[in-house]
Amino acid sequence: MKYLMFLVFLVCASASAAVEPHEILQDQRLEQRARDISKGLRCPVCQNETIDESSAEIAADLRVLVRERLSVGDSDQEVVDFVVARYGEFVLLKPSVSGSNLLLWGMAPLMLIIGLGFGVVFVRRCGGQTPNVQDPSLSDAERSELEKLLKP
């Protein structure tokens, strides 16, 4: 019995969407277009959820905005452009690879290469060197203790 309840909760949790009944358009074609557009828009609060999946207030506002723009006759691209103009490219789940985004995409591999370069230089300069046990600032007792510690 408890497995059946777990299965019911699992199905209900996966099928839940934050779209409220009053947000749904009467025209099924427009509603389907709104759902398709919403799949590509990120909730600014939740960040890893689409606006259809999020229950945040701003996601609800975005869902209503998308449906309003579709109702006045905007194309899908015009709706997306309108939302991006208001909220920036951050709301796109798949941002364009151009301009400043291209710089951001390229910086990660570039920083990795620079870090590896610094690491190689550091290892080459310091690698294979043993500490100087004959340091004149050490006393004889300290020097012998250091030699005992450094021997394998």
Q: What is the CATH number of the domain that holds 81?
A: 1.10.8.640
- Burial profile 62-80: b = 16 or more Cβ within 10 angstroms, e = fewer: bbebbbebbeeebeeeebb
Q: Which two tokens stand for residue 28?
A: 């099924």
Domain membership of residue 128 (yes or no) is no
Please check the confidence at residue 93 and state whether its pLDDT lies above 80.
Answer: yes
Find out whether 70 and 33 touch, Cβ atoms under 8 Å. Answer: yes
Find out whether 59 and 43 touch, Cβ atoms under 8 Å. Answer: yes
**Tens digit of each residue's pLDDT (9 = 90 or more) over 130-143:** 665 565 677 888 88
Structural domain boundaries enclosing 36: 15-91
Domain membership of residue 79 (yes or no) is yes
Per the prediction, the chain carries an average pLDDT of 80
Domain membership of residue 2 (yes or no) is no
Residue 71: pLDDT band (50, 70, 90) is: confident
pTM for the whole structure: 0.56
Position 16 scores a pLDDT of 45
How many structural domains does the chain have? 1
- Rounded CA gap, 127 and 116, in Å? 15
Domain membership of residue 87 (yes or no) is yes
